[in-house]
DNA sequence: TGTACATCAGTGAACGCGCGTTCACTGATGTAC
DNA sequence: TGTACATCAGTGAACGCGCGTTCACTGATGTAC
């Protein structure tokens, strides 16, 4: 049993997790792995409170203190985790809204569908993000999830305004109020479709039917 | 310093909290006080996880183990706390829907307004209730918040159907889908108005304007 | 009316646990000479 | 090319803390005789 053939604890850890210690200057690689693991665990557990620093570290194949080489504390880790997800949603909305040649009604429908579909594809992250936007937790304005959200919301406002200008939508609309109403409606439907699994006693139609219903109803309500 | 004049620790506790030990057979009185305190703390903290059994006991003026004379564990305590709130909302919706003489559109508007206003009056309980309806936590069907919710939802469905029958609403509506859409829209707007305090960068109009916008848009969208 | 007793609504101290975080350290990697 | 050294990415053990919950108990209240 020479030293070269005896597996060490370090070897075991490497084999189990598939991780090697990062080269010098490549420490940032671990950061992304941590964020990936945190996101996966968030999906699995459904709440930030039930995901521990230790479990994230274990999933990555690293010791718990190693997390602190990349994030100041637990809050910062999960803030970054959620922001990444929100960025993807924002990107999809920009794409859906962006095609300025098409009719406004069509662009809004596509964006609304993209929004709800994103929420259904990432149900846990979506709920965590919205759950984490709690008034009491918003004391630090720099830590808000809304940076990308603000951008999307402003696009929504200007698209509705464009619809009014193009005489697709009624001219008497209070555009900002309608924008909040549309956002709220789409968000609310997304949340209900996510949670409907638990509501067996309410017979909820297919996702697509409900998505069509809310988008059609909203559009019909603001159309000329 | 005779025993009759020396204040005991028990006297102090009584004076501080205003509680007396319940008479025999009146143990149930404490139960309501516990639920009231739990609800208040829930509002204050914004999340079940941040309210401890110890803090509830302290607010009531009782020792922590006393809680266990009335509730099996922490889950049961907060389940009951939320159910009470949900029952009030349900009652308000029944009232708003109930006046069968009036036009359906008016009844729906009143119910929608009552729903959002209730959410704004009890923002934290509302978010906690909706936050606690998480798919992963719904494994025990007897512990669902939806018992009163089911009743309200069924009323919504039948009211919309009544609107179709009375030829107030379009005959081609898929009533169940529209009901989910309406519920989702109202819920989503309520949630956004609750959380808007934290979103200073998005300029959100007055509550009433937004409420009017979503209800008018939805109604206009389903009207004949 | 007095008194022994059962019952009930609580209490105080302690339990075990898991958590976020800190600390002193190790050992591989790259670099200057 | 060899070697001493600085740097960096980690580790293992331990910390203090607050939590939900349990346990053995106390003392006021009502009741039977």
pLDDT-based confidence at B140, cuts 50/70/90?
very low
Reduced 3-state DSSP string for chain A: CCCCCCCCHHHHHHHHHCCCCCCCCCCHHHHHHHHHHHHHHHHHHCCHHHCCHHHHHHHHCCCHHHHCCCCCCHHHHHHHHHHHHHHHHHHHHHHHHHCCCCCHHHHHHHHHHHHHHHHHHCHHHHHHHHHHCCHHHCCCHHHCCHHHHHHHHHHHHHHHHHHHHCCCECCCCCHHHHHHHHHHHHHHHHHHHHHHHHCCCCCCCCHHHHHHHHHHHHHHHHEC
D chain positions with any atom within 7 Å of a protein CB: 7-14, 18-24, 28-30
pLDDT digits (tens, 9 = 90+) for B58-102: 999 999 999 999 999 999 999 899 889 888 999 999 999 988 899
Average pLDDT of B140-144? 46
Residue A185 Ramachandran class (φ > 0 left, ψ -120 to 50 alpha, else beta) = alpha
DSSP B75-122: HHHHHHHHHHHHHHHHHHHHHHHH-TTS-HHHHHHHHHHHHHHHHHHS
Chain A residue numbers touching B90 (CB-CB < 8 A): none
pLDDT digits (tens, 9 = 90+) for B14-66: 334 557 788 877 778 899 999 999 999 998 887 888 999 999 999 999 999 99
Chain B residue numbers touching A150 (CB-CB < 8 A): 199, 201-202
- Interface residue of A132, A135, A160, A194 to substitute, partner B, most B CBs within 10 Å: A135
CB atoms within 10 A of CB B125: 21
Q: Is A151 on the interface with B (CB under 8 A)?
A: no
Among the partner-chain residues A131, A185, A199, the one whose CB lies closest to the CB of B184 is: A185
- From first to last of its 224 residues, chain A has per-residue pLDDT tens of 333 333 333 333 343 455 788 887 777 889 999 999 999 999 888 888 899 999 999 999 999 999 999 999 999 999 899 889 888 999 999 999 988 899 999 999 999 999 999 999 888 778 777 765 554 444 444 444 456 678 889 999 999 999 999 999 999 999 999 999 999 999 999 999 988 765 666 778 999 999 999 999 999 999 98
Cα-Cα-Cα-Cα dihedral sign, residues B97, B102, B104, B107: negative
Please state, in angstroms and rounded to a whole number, the distance separating the CA atoms of residues A32 and B74: 37
Q: Is A202 on the interface with B (CB under 8 A)?
A: yes
**Average pLDDT over chain B, rounded to an integer:** 83
pLDDT at B18: 57
Higher pLDDT, B142 or B98: B98
């Amino acid at each position: 049993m020479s030293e070269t053939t005896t597996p060490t604890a370090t070897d075991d850890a490497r084999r189990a997790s598939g991780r090697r210690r990062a080269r010098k200057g490549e420490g940032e690689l671990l950061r992304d792995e941590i964020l990936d693991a945190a996101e996966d665990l968030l999906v699995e557990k459904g709440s930030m409170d039930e995901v521990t620093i230790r479990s994230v570290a274990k999933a990555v194949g690293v010791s718990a203190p190693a997390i602190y080489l990349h994030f100041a504390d637990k809050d910062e880790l999960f803030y970054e985790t959620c922001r990444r997800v929100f960025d993807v949603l924002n990107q999809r909305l920009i794409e859906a809204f962006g095609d300025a040649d098409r009719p406004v009604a069509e662009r809004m429908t596509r964006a609304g569908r993209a929004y709800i579909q994103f929420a259904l594809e990432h149900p846990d992250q979506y709920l965590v993000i919205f759950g984490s936007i709690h008034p009491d937790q918003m004391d630090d304005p720099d830590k808000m999830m809304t940076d990308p959200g603000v951008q999307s919301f402003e696009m929504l406002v200007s698209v509705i305004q464009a619809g009014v200008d193009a005489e697709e939508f009624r001219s008497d609309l209070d555009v900002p109020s309608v924008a909040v109403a549309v956002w709220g409606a789409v968000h609310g439907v997304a949340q209900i479709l996510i949670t409907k699994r638990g509501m067996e006693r309410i017979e909820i139609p297919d996702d697509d039917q409900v998505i069509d219903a809310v988008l059609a109803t909203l559009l019909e309500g603001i159309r000329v």
